[in-house]
Structure 1
């Protein structure tokens, strides 16, 4: 019951559509009608500006970090030794899925990258540092945030599994092992339209390109 309540609350918090709300506040319109049609920080930056995009990125990360951290504190304060890792992992996964499929927007959410960043800052900070370095390097080389997000997700999963190589199948850490495999795969799945476009040679314009403000035909073309 504790895990269920924690997951439901984290899902609802993770589903708060900050990109949509900022778009309403600044544009007086649905952000999904502009740019790539996505509610994520990248599309907000593309349409409104990097200051607002950074603000949404921060808020999306916090809505992943906060439920995860609170679940960790709850498990520790109540001496739930068997759930000390499982409870925050469950909360983190729920927050990420909540961002991807928010009930407030009929399950049309973002890619989950920023929210996942907030979660892993609590669960696996060592792997985060390497994944962020991979993200920044890929952005510098390709200027395509979607590619950098996929590379960062794969890097995080690989590094975290390596760090856990001696304990990944232990009962106390198995949930984090599942997280390190499942969440990168889920993020890649959410980027499937980007992958199709890249494979077909239809690379998206960089966020600061004038062509990037052309409305998209669907809501699955940006990172969030």
Structure 2
């Protein structure tokens, strides 16, 4: 139990690393919280700092959960799911950025990739297909928020239909509900036809 608790705390702390804030301040002398949506995620970093910075933040945010789950599988396998969830929570409520972070989309996809590779050994079902669905949705509707919700929902549904590991399945549904809740303002804008659309795809 102590090992699991330790892994969860480390997962949260690792998830709390605000890469959008770090990259903005170190390389661009800009606090992304003061611009755009004020969100510490890859989408807002891309809008404020440019495409290169946005892609970098997305990759680093995804790697947070990927490494947390991967390390847990090596040393405390029973804590992998809990630490992965804690990492996603840390991204949204980072102790290093006054508990105001991102929306955990990239971090959740990092969790899906790690869980698929190291836990269920089904990366195509758990990561590749949901990511493709995310990209197709993004191509059609041009809205990152909507694509994120649909992509992660597909991961939860696919896992429910194909996996026997109940904890993995429950964890992905939790992340989908969490990500959807974090996008509540975006959902309202979608309903009002006011949501911002990407222009690069």
Q: Normalization by structure 1: what TM-score?
A: 0.82
Structure number having the greater helix percentage: 2
CA-CA distance at 1:39 after TM superposition: 1.1
CA-CA distance at 1:25 after TM superposition: 2.0
Q: Report the structure number with the largest CA radius of gyration.
A: 1
Contact (CA 8 Å) 2:65, 2:114: kept in 1 or not?
A: no
Contact (CA 8 Å) 1:45, 1:207: kept in 2 or not?
A: no
CA-CA distance at 1:174 after TM superposition: 2.8
Aligned-CA RMSD value: 1.5
**Residue 85 of structure 2: aligned partner:** 93
Q: For 1:13-32, what aligned pairs fall within 5 Å after superposition?
A: 13-32=14-33
* Correspondence 1:184 to 2:184: no
- Aligned counterpart for 2:198 among listed residues 198, 202, 206: 206
Distance 1:44 1:207, change over 3 A: farther
User: Structure 2 CA distance, aligned partners of 1:100 and 1:163?
Assistant: 29
**Residue 120 of structure 2: aligned partner:** none
Distance 1:100 1:207, change over 3 A: farther
Gaps of 5+ in 1: 76-83, 168-172, 209-224
User: Structure 1 CA distance, aligned partners of 2:39 and 2:199?
Assistant: 13
**Residue 151 of structure 1: aligned partner:** 150
**Residue 188 of structure 2: aligned partner:** 196
User: Structure 2 CA distance, aligned partners of 1:207 and 1:20?
Assistant: 24
Gaps of 5+ in 2: 117-122
Q: Deviations over 1:130-166 (max 9, x none)?
A: 11111110111111111111110111110111112xx
Contact (CA 8 Å) 1:6, 1:71: kept in 2 or not?
A: yes
Q: For 1:88-167, what aligned pairs fall within 5 Å after superposition?
A: 88-124=80-116, 125=123, 126-164=125-163, 167=164
User: Structure 2 CA distance, aligned partners of 1:64 and 1:207?
Assistant: 28
User: Structure 2 CA distance, aligned partners of 1:69 and 1:207?
Assistant: 35
Contact (CA 8 Å) 2:144, 2:197: kept in 1 or not?
A: no
User: Structure 1 CA distance, aligned partners of 2:195 and 2:11?
Assistant: 34
User: Structure 2 CA distance, aligned partners of 1:32 and 1:153?
Assistant: 25
> Which 4+ stretches in 1 moved above 3 angstroms?
none
Most deviating of 129-138 and 19-28: 19-28
User: Structure 2 CA distance, aligned partners of 1:134 and 1:27?
Assistant: 33
